[in-house]
Amino acid sequence: MLKVDGIDVFYGNIHALKGVSIEVLEGEIVTLIGANGAGKSTLLKTLSGLLKPKNGSIQYENKSIAGKAAQTIVKTGISHVPEGRRVFANMTVEENLELGAYVRKDKQIQKDIQKVYETFPRLHERRKQLSGTLSGGEQQMLAMGRAIMAKPKLLLLDEPSMGLAPIMVKTIFEIIEDINKNGTTILLVEQNAHMALSVAKRGYVIETGRVVLTGSAKDLQASEEIKSAYLGG
Amino acid sequence: MEWVQQLVNGISLGSIYALIALGYTMVYGIIKLINFAHGEIFMIGAFVGFYAISGWGLGFFPALLLAMTVCALFGVIIERVAYRRLRNATRIAALITAIGISLLIQYVVIYFRGAQPEAYPNVLSNRSFDFFGAQISSQSLMILCTSIALMILLQFIVHKTKIGKAMRAVSHDMDAARLMGINVNTTISATFAIGSALAGAAGVFFGVYYTKIEPLMGVIPGLKAFVAAVLGGIGIIPGAMVGGLLLGVVETVVSALGYSLWRDAAAFIILILILLFKPSGIFGKNAREKV
Q: Which helix (H) or strand (E) holds B287?
A: none
Higher pLDDT, B139 or B18: B18
Separation CA A231–CA A203 (nearest Å): 14
B133 part of a folded domain: no
Give the residue from B159, B180, B290 with the most A CB atoms within 10 Å of its CB, the best one to mutate: B180
> pLDDT of B132-149, one tens digit each?
777 788 888 889 999 999
Separation CA B43–CA B23 (nearest Å): 14
Separation CA A108–CA A110 (nearest Å): 6
pLDDT above 50 (res B33): yes
Q: What are phi and psi of A25, to 5 degrees?
A: -95, 155
> pLDDT of B163-209, one tens digit each?
999 999 999 999 999 999 999 999 999 999 999 999 999 999 999 99
| Under 8 Å between Cβ of A32 and A203 | yes
Q: Name the nearest CA neighbour of B143 among B194, B195, B196, B204.
A: B204
Interface size A-B, in CB pairs within 8 Å, comes to 67
B258 CA to chain A: closest CA distance, Å? 44
Q: What is the pLDDT of residue B286?
A: 62
Percentage of chain B surpassing pLDDT 90?
A: 79
Q: How far is CA B121 from CA B60, B62, B141, B170, B228, in A?
A: 10, 14, 18, 41, 28
Q: Please give the angle made by the CA atoms of B35, B36 and B41, to the nearest 5 degrees.
A: 90
pLDDT above 50 (res B238): yes
Separation CA B274–CA A145 (nearest Å): 41
Q: How many C-beta atoms lie closer than 10 Å to residue B160's C-beta? A: 9
Q: What is the pLDDT of residue B287?
A: 56
Domain count, chain B: 1
B192 part of a folded domain: yes
- Report CB contact under 8 Å: A70, B178: yes
- Partner B contacted by A88 (CB < 8 A): yes
Residue B181 is nearest to which of A50, A75, A136, comparing CB atoms? A75
Of the pLDDT bands very low, low, confident and very high (cuts 50, 70, 90), residue B289 is very low
Q: What are phi and psi of B265, to 5 degrees?
A: -65, -35
Measured in whole angstroms, the distance separating CA B38 from the mean position of its chain's CA atoms is 7
Separation CA A132–CA A194 (nearest Å): 30
Helix (H, G, I), strand (E, B) or coil at B212: strand
B32 part of a folded domain: yes
Question: B-contacting residues of A 126-165, CB under 8 Å?
Answer: 136, 146, 150, 163
pLDDT above 50 (res B127): yes
B123 part of a folded domain: no
What size, in residues, is chain B?
291
Q: What is the mean pLDDT of chain A?
A: 94
Higher pLDDT, B122 or B163: B163
B287 part of a folded domain: no
Of the pLDDT bands very low, low, confident and very high (cuts 50, 70, 90), residue B285 is confident
Of the pLDDT bands very low, low, confident and very high (cuts 50, 70, 90), residue B291 is very low
pLDDT above 90 (res A223): no
- Report CB contact under 8 Å: A102, B176: no
Higher pLDDT, B244 or B260: B244
Q: Name the nearest CA neighbour of B9 among B126, B122, B150, B151.
A: B126
**Residues of chain B found within 8 Å of residue A100, distances taken between Cβ atoms:** 180
- Report CB contact under 8 Å: B181, A70: yes
Mean pLDDT confidence for A59-71:
95
Q: How far is CA B71 from CA B68, B197, B219, in A?
A: 5, 5, 17
B39 part of a folded domain: yes
Q: Which helix (H) or strand (E) holds A96?
A: helix A93-100
Of the pLDDT bands very low, low, confident and very high (cuts 50, 70, 90), residue B125 is confident
Domains defined along chain A, listed by start: 2-230 (3.40.50.300)
Q: What is the pLDDT of residue A233?
A: 56
| CA Rg value for chain B | 19
Measured in whole angstroms, the distance separating CA B289 from the mean position of its chain's CA atoms is 30
Range of the domain at B108: 2-116+158-277
B121 part of a folded domain: no
**Residues of chain A found within 8 Å of residue B290, distances taken between Cβ atoms:** 84, 89
Q: Name the nearest CA neighbour of A17 among A3, A5, A30.
A: A5
Q: What is the pLDDT of residue A27?
A: 96
Q: What is the pLDDT of residue B290?
A: 41
B136 part of a folded domain: no
Most confident of the following: A185-189, A224-228, B270-274, B283-287: A185-189
- CA dihedral sign of residues B194, B196, B200, B203: positive
* A87-97 core/surface letters (b: 16 or more CB in 10 A; e: else): bbbbbbbbbbb
Percentage of chain A surpassing pLDDT 90?
A: 90
Give the residue from A52, A99, A133 with the most B CB atoms within 10 Å of its CB, the best one to mutate: A99
Q: What is the mean pLDDT of chain B?
A: 92
> pLDDT of A142-174, one tens digit each?
999 999 999 999 999 999 999 999 999 999 999
Separation CA B130–CA B136 (nearest Å): 6
